Amino acid sequence: MKMSMPSTSFASVLGAAAFGIAMLGAVAGASAQAPEIAARQELMKANGAALRVLVPMVRGEAPWNAAAAGQAAATVQSDAAKGKGLFPAGSTAPNSAALPAIWERKAEFDAIFDRQRDAAANLVRLAAAGDEAGFKAAFPALGQTCGACHTPFRRPAN
């Protein structure tokens, strides 16, 4: 039949077009979510890892290691400095735990990052000076900044 060839290729053209449209949809879906969301979640995971190094040391459950303590504090310091730039207005998504309060009270939110950065910088200095007692005494000023932000500004995990 003369008709079968054109109709077969028409079907394959349609199939290719449908595939192209599906791909476009996937790309549009990905770009609809702000890249800052994944970046800030990675940054927060690094904060969590840093605290898993610091907390046992401060509690005396792990041996004091000035180099490791200084490195973990430096991670939190740089994360705090970068954090403010990772919450652009409207960067919400179902997989983000960021609460709208962030953008209603952005100055308050940013100020906690500043406090965290300064507290971490102080710990970096104390670790470099080998001041174990000073580091342990100053640690709560850093540790409390995590919860001070999460309580008002992060959706609690269920």
Residue with smaller CB distance to ligand HEC, 41 or 78 = 41
Q: Smallest distance, Å, CB 50 to ligand HEC? A: 7
Cα-Cα-Cα-Cα dihedral sign, residues 142, 144, 147, 149: negative
Residue with smaller CB distance to ligand HEC, 66 or 97 = 97
> Among 150, 155, 138, 10, which Cα is nearest to 69's?
138
**Where on the chain is the footprint of ligand HEC (CB under 6 A)?**
37, 40-41, 44-45, 47-48, 51, 76, 96-98, 109, 112-113, 116, 145-146, 149-150, 153-154
Q: Smallest distance, Å, CB 133 to ligand HEC? A: 21
Residue with smaller CB distance to ligand HEC, 69 or 98 = 98
Residue with smaller CB distance to ligand HEC, 8 or 37 = 37
Q: Smallest distance, Å, CB 62 to ligand HEC? A: 17
Measured CA to CA, the distance from residue 17 to residue 148 in angstroms comes to: 51
DSSP string, 33-97: S-HHHHHHHHHHHHHHHHHHHHHHHHTTSS---HHHHHHHHHHHHHHHHHHGGG--TT---TT--
